Amino acid sequence: MSDDLTYPGGKLRLFVEAPLGANGRVVIEEGQAHYLLHVMRAKPGDRISLFNGRDGEWLAEVKETAKRTCTVECTVRIEPQSEVPDLWLVFAPVKKTPADYLTQKATELGVRVLQPVLTRRTIVTRVNTERMCANAVEAAEQSGRVTVPEIREPLSFDKLLAAWPAERRILFCDEGGDCLPIAEALRQAPAAPWAVFTGPEGGFDPAERAALRALPHVTPVSLGGRILRADTAALAALAVWQSVCGDWH
């Protein structure tokens, strides 16, 4: 019997690089094939769905299974291609487990770009962007997105700001006080592409904070009086942004 392969939360979705179109065949390999064949026990006739970030989401039927590969054929497009809101997350790197979480959650919360930034107080300087990509793909598959966020290579604070596109507003999560609460600031802010900008444990250096606050396209905001871990602050700011300015609105 044919089955729709599912996991808790929905249909089994895979992100692939190949172009997708009616009757197009795609060979699933490596980790995805292992998952399909040995975890989900896929057999010919089973249905999954595929997306590649360009051609929308397609239903696909398993045609052939081998030991290490699985061939599927696209049948019908079930979602047109679409984009998440134009929101970036700029964040100071955190340790491995929080970094995994941050990437997964930011993907679910609908960011378009993840940009690590190395600030003066950043303790973690090695960023495993390959691991971030894998986490982002998995989270995109489970969240129903038809895109995967772009994971950028880390940049220094100074380089990042020097090359910053002036039309993109920065939502600066400022622990220094003396700024509007986040929801109020966002309700007053102009419609624009945005980036949530969060610092490392211990916050931005005073010179960095002053540099950010001096820029005309920066909106400093408060996330209340409790001290939030770096990843908590990032996720909270993304959620509030989506609820006020984004597609939860």
The 10 Å Cβ neighbour count of residue 61 is: 15
Sequence-distant (≥ 6) Cβ neighbours of residue 207 within 8 angstroms: 120
Distance CA 52, CA 220 (A): 36
What tokens appear for 154 in the block? 């880390």
Q: Among residues 144, 155, 176, 213, which is the contact residue for a second copy, using CB under 8 A?
A: 144
Q: Among residues 40, 109, 151, 173, which is the contact residue for a second copy, using CB under 8 A?
A: 109
Q: Considering the rule CB under 8 A, would residue 25 count as an interface residue with a second copy?
A: no
Which 8-state DSSP code applies to residue 154? P
Q: Among residues 73, 150, 158, 201, which is the contact residue for a second copy, using CB under 8 A?
A: 201
The 10 Å Cβ neighbour count of residue 219 is: 22
Least distance in Å: CB of 107 to a second copy? Answer: 9
Q: Among residues 49, 104, 115, 135, which is the contact residue for a second copy, using CB under 8 A?
A: 104
For residue 244, count CB atoms less than 10 angstroms from its CB and return exposed for 0-12, middle for 13-18, buried for 19 or more: middle
User: How long a stretch of residues is the chain?
Assistant: 249
Least distance in Å: CB of 26 to a second copy? Answer: 23
Least distance in Å: CB of 235 to a second copy? Answer: 6
Q: Considering the rule CB under 8 A, would residue 200 count as an interface residue with a second copy?
A: yes
Interface residues with a second copy (CB under 8 A) are 8-10, 97, 101, 104-105, 108-110, 121, 123, 142-145, 181-184, 200-203, 222-229, 232, 235-237, 239-240, 242-244, 246-249
